[in-house]
Chains A and B, each alone.
Chain A
Amino acid sequence: MSAISYADKIPNNVNLSEDRALQRALEHWQPNYLAWWREMGPDGALDFDVYLRTAVSADPGGWAHFDYVKMPDYRWGIFLAPQETGRQVNFGAHKGAPAWQDVPGEHRANLRRIIVTQGDTEPASVEQQRHLGRTAPSLYDLRNLFQVNVEEGRHLWAMVYLLHRYFGRDGREEAEALLERRSGDVDNPRILGAFNERTPDWLAFFMFTYFTDRDGKFQLNALAESGFDPLARTTRFMLTEEAHHMFVGESGVARTIQRTCEVMREIGSDAPDKVRAAGAIDLPTLQRYLNFHYSVTIDLFGADQSSNAATFYTAGLKGRFEETKRGDDHVLQGAAYTIMEPRDGAIATREVPLLNALNEVLRDDFIKDSVGGIERWNKVIARHGLQHRLIVPHKAFNRRIGTFSGMHVSPEGEVLSQAQWQAREPQWLPSREDRAFVASLMGRVVEPGKFAGWIAPPPTGINRQPIDFEYVRFG
């Protein structure tokens, strides 16, 4: 495979210098990207030296290179996983054909839409998280936030490369628009709902990276199966970076729970007001945050039944999670899938054509994966000898998209009237008071090895460094 070219203005392993038109287009986009980063990237952090991981090559040995770097100098670039010789389209109507190295004309619009939708989430999350650096609970966490941010930035690059390289003028316009939309902007919002929500505090950040970046994992996995080979190779490399984001989320919540349990044992009480008075986040509040981020995230998978999803699959553009590890015919004509839907004021199940239910299939795979981590969080609680357990809300709880969107359902799956929902909603979703309380704990801790009182230190440092390593040096 080709090594990453650092001689070029834009580090890449795609022989960018051999395609002068593309190189010029990207070099034109690059200053706009940097301008966007300066405006919408981490607030007030442009001059920090951050101990970051930067890819120096896309093979396993080289892509995790650690050193101090100022974020605007981060080597954002274009890295594709090595090409597999003889790779085929592995599903849909074109199954068995050689994988496409160029965009098939008839799928151009759909592919562009898939890439733009994925690409839009990347700068969106940087925007959502831009103020968090002001309240980081430790240098270790601050560094992890910035690592997440620069990698989201690189994922934007990855999508923009595809748009520029394969979609001509349309692609270039879409690439510009990716820098123009703003998370939460009334007039020009990001495309997907969850990416217009605020990430106001670190608990929200951890929940976001656990749940919402996991949506990213599943979407990227589905795209990594694509018959359009450059998309598959790009997303495959992105997945290795995405894993770090989920690590930040899972370990961040686990450490929060750990600290809460320690406090509960110290004060000998699980009463939320006492836990809060002792400076930790009570488990019911954690559960409400979980409920919120979980339900908002599973909306991201789209409608329960979707003819678009069927089209994307049959066309070979977007597969299922672990498509090639599944034992069926990978065409799915005539296959069925059981989905849940409202019927006569209750939740019932129904068999529908599997092809139309592929959003639901991906959502269910996501749910299974999410549950595993929640069980691991519960083990943290159990290790402290405490009885409390976090639960996974019902799939129909607090939905805005899909057949449940008009329905009120409790986390346990009980169908409620509007009045019942309103009366009990504060038990299930973070209230203004909850958010105010969590916000009140957010104070910046910058002494190496020290952690805010609401979160436990991690078990190990980054890249075998000690926990009290100076992960961020302030300019």
Chain B
Amino acid sequence: MNGPLPPELLEQHLIDPEICIRCNTCEETCPVDAITHDSRNYVVDASICNACMACISPCPTGAIDNWRVVARADPYPVDAQLGWDVLPPAAAARAASDHGVPEDVRRLTDEAHAALRNAVRPRSAGTPSVNLYTPSRPAIATVTGNFRLTAEDAESDVRHIVLDFGTHAFPVLEGQSIGIVAPGTDASGRPHHVRLYSIASPRDGERPGYNNCSLTVKRVTLDHDGAPVLGVCSNYLCDLRKGDRVNVIGPYGESFLMPDDPAAHLLMVCTGTGSAPMRAMTERRRRGRGTSGEGRLVLFFGARRPGELPYFGPLQKLPSDFIDVNLAFSRVADRPRRYVQDLIAQRGAEVGELLADPRTHVYVCGLKGMEAGVLDAFRAACAARGTDWDALVPVLRDEGRLHIETY
């Protein structure tokens, strides 16, 4: 873990039952008797353990050196640990006690990942915290900024919203999402559905060192079929004013994460608000610039017009030796419609080379409609150099190097 945890969270000390040989050394060593065992497992009582680390070096196996970030009020109890055959996965910091990941979140995540099931996180990715805050126990964030990203005359209203978590710890990694439930109830008197938003800022905050994050939210005024509809949550968020308080749940997302390896290349393809995770990852790289072994950043970004492309201005200012930016506009007057897949095809040789490079990590995020075209463009880029894209997909997926999130 980096830095101290805030009071709501606990880095819980756990013993890996798969590696532990039940030698009793830790129990013997523990100066506060936090370690106990039954005939099956050795376990640490979170209410007693003070993380003095006295047990760590005497353990012959390394099983003792396991930690999971949990809500302090809700650590894994001793009884549960005694029943374990394996540790809960580090990636999936667990659901808080009474509330698993909300059904809404599960459904939305499933839909978003429909194009690529069972993706795994990059090997060098950080360990994400997941589901630390639940609908019944949300984090309260304060709005510290809400700016329109799209031009005043643009049809779409896309906003950059900054949330400050104050004293709540809300650890996120680039690529993760947070959940928002708009206040109030729907027409049937039920609470509104959860909506997920990718964070657009890197892990150390929208402003480095601050406990805040940013979202890229498009005000929904039409449904998928183009019929007028007012999206409850997006309108709630887009209308927020500085100082307003928002209930936030999550974070979510265990696979769509960036590699920490500075030598890894990032090939990013997005449209509209799908740019949020790309901005987070790019900003993470930008802040860490100058460290050795920098991998390449290549971005394909599509919007209807320049004025509707979130972060168009700031993107223009990034030096080309830092990021290779390719913008596609589909509704510019007197110009042919250009989509991201057209630009990928145009640079097919370089894309094919990138896809064949074992350091490359691919991220696709945006509307479902872009998915097929982008994947076809990848397939063609690979075929041109004799590589079978469809055979490459499972390899990329299993190595944590292919991530697709569409909605």
Contact = CB atoms under 8 A, between A and B. Distances in A.
A292 B29 CA distance: 33
A244 B60 contact: yes
A239 B22 contact: no
A319 to B, nearest CB: 15
A247 B39 contact: no
Given A60-B55, A63-B58, A459-B19, A464 B65 contact: yes
Contact of A64 (B23, B39, B57, B61): B57
Contacts of B61: 247, 251
A217 to B, nearest CB: 7
A260 B22 CA distance: 24
Contacts, number: 58
A368 B38 CA distance: 12
B28 interface: yes
Interface residues of A, number: 25
Given A244-B60, A251-B61, A464-B62, A60 B21 contact: no
A449 to B, nearest CB: 16
B6 to A, nearest CB: 26
A369 B19 CA distance: 16
Contacts of A372: 22, 39-40
B85 A64 contact: no
Contact of A63 (B21, B22, B40, B57): B57
A369 B40 CA distance: 10
Contacts of B23: 217, 242-243, 246-247
A250 B85 contact: no
A387 interface: no
B54 A243 contact: no
Interface string A373-392: 10000010000000000000
A462 to B, nearest CB: 8
A112 B92 CA distance: 56
A28 B376 CA distance: 80
Interface string B51-82: 00111011111100100000000000000000
A417 interface: no
A240 interface: yes
B21 A64 contact: no
A402 to B, nearest CB: 26
B18 interface: yes
Contacts of B18: 459
Interface in A223-272: 236, 239-240, 242-244, 246-247, 250-251
A460 interface: yes
A251 B31 CA distance: 27
A31 interface: no
Nearest to B19: A459
Nearest to A460: B62
Contacts of A460: 19, 62
A367 B53 CA distance: 31
Q: With a 10 A CB-CB cut-off, give which of B21, B29, B65 has the most chain A CB atoms.
A: B21
Interface residues of B, number: 23
B1 to A, nearest CB: 15
A243 B29 CA distance: 12
B25 interface: yes
Contact of B22 (A64, A240, A369, A459): A369
Nearest to B59: A243
B85 A379 contact: yes
Given A60-B54, A64-B57, A240 B25 contact: yes
Contacts of A459: 18-19
Contacts of A369: 22
A461 B62 CA distance: 8
Interface in B253-296: none
A247 B57 contact: no
Given A247-B60, A251-B61, A372-B39, A60 B29 contact: yes
A250 B19 CA distance: 9
Contact of B21 (A236, A247, A461, A464): A247
A180 B28 CA distance: 35
Interface in B41-57: 53-55, 57
Given A372-B39, A379-B85, A239 B57 contact: no
A250 B21 contact: yes
A312 B41 CA distance: 32
A327 interface: no
A246 B21 CA distance: 8
A475 interface: no
B58 A240 contact: yes
Contacts of A379: 85
A61 interface: yes
A461 B54 CA distance: 20
B29 A240 contact: yes
B83 to A, nearest CB: 14
Interface in A444-467: 459-462, 464
Nearest to A81: B28
A459 B25 CA distance: 20
B57 A61 contact: yes
A372 B23 CA distance: 11
A373 B28 CA distance: 20
Contacts of A236: 28
A368 B39 CA distance: 9
Contacts of A250: 21
A243 B24 CA distance: 8
Given A240-B58, A247-B60, A460-B62, A373 B21 contact: yes
A375 B319 CA distance: 60
A63 B53 CA distance: 13
A73 to B, nearest CB: 22
A239 B25 CA distance: 8
Given A60-B55, A464-B65, A243 B19 contact: no
Q: In this complex, which of A236, A240, A369, A462 has the most chain B Cβ atoms within 10 angstroms of its Cβ?
A: A240
Nearest to A210: B21
B21 A243 contact: yes
Contacts of A464: 62, 65
A20 B61 CA distance: 39
Interface of B: 18-19, 21-25, 28-29, 31, 39-40, 53-55, 57-62, 65, 85
Interface of A: 60-61, 63-64, 217, 236, 239-240, 242-244, 246-247, 250-251, 368-369, 372-373, 379, 459-462, 464
Given A60-B57, A373-B22, A462-B62, 19 more contacts: A60-B29, A60-B55, A61-B54, A63-B57, A63-B58, A64-B57, A64-B58, A239-B25, A239-B28, A240-B25, A243-B25, A246-B23, A246-B60, A247-B23, A251-B19, A369-B22, A373-B21, A459-B18, A461-B62
30 contacts: A60-B29, A60-B31, A60-B55, A61-B53, A61-B54, A61-B57, A63-B57, A63-B58, A64-B57, A217-B23, A236-B28, A239-B25, A240-B58, A243-B21, A243-B23, A243-B58, A244-B60, A247-B21, A247-B60, A251-B19, A251-B21, A368-B39, A372-B22, A372-B39, A373-B21, A379-B85, A459-B18, A459-B19, A460-B19, A460-B62
Q: Top 7 A-B pairs ranked by shortest CB distance?
A: A243-B23, A64-B57, A244-B60, A60-B54, A247-B60, A243-B25, A243-B60
